[in-house]
Structure 1
């Protein structure tokens, strides 16, 4: 089994998979995991789902938000 947790109000709570059985990160938009594929060793499917997440609109918005924050800080990468 795969358990995914999210921090809510100073406590970790389980994050439920969606109807497709995928976990979708609330902190890192576009980070998606097909738990069944991971557990059965179907790495091609795992990678395909990860790529779908990375190619999603929510991930693109997340990347743009990170870029804006970096520009506000003078373009320096945080250490």
Structure 2
């Protein structure tokens, strides 16, 4: 597929009201889409692309709850 239309998609899973945010760019770095939505909607968008390079953001380490523990200790 030498002449396919490639999209570049970045997905950021978050803990907000809409659990996923994604942005899609075309080969000339023009914005194709920017949205916050559910996983099913992200998958439908990605699945509808002719060709895509997809990256998913993730924390460097699991959440250890350190801030929560500190706040709980302060409230005692």
TM-score (norm 1): 0.26
Greater share of residues in strand: 2
Task: Specify the structure having the higher radius of gyration (Cα).
Answer: 2
TM-score (norm 2): 0.26
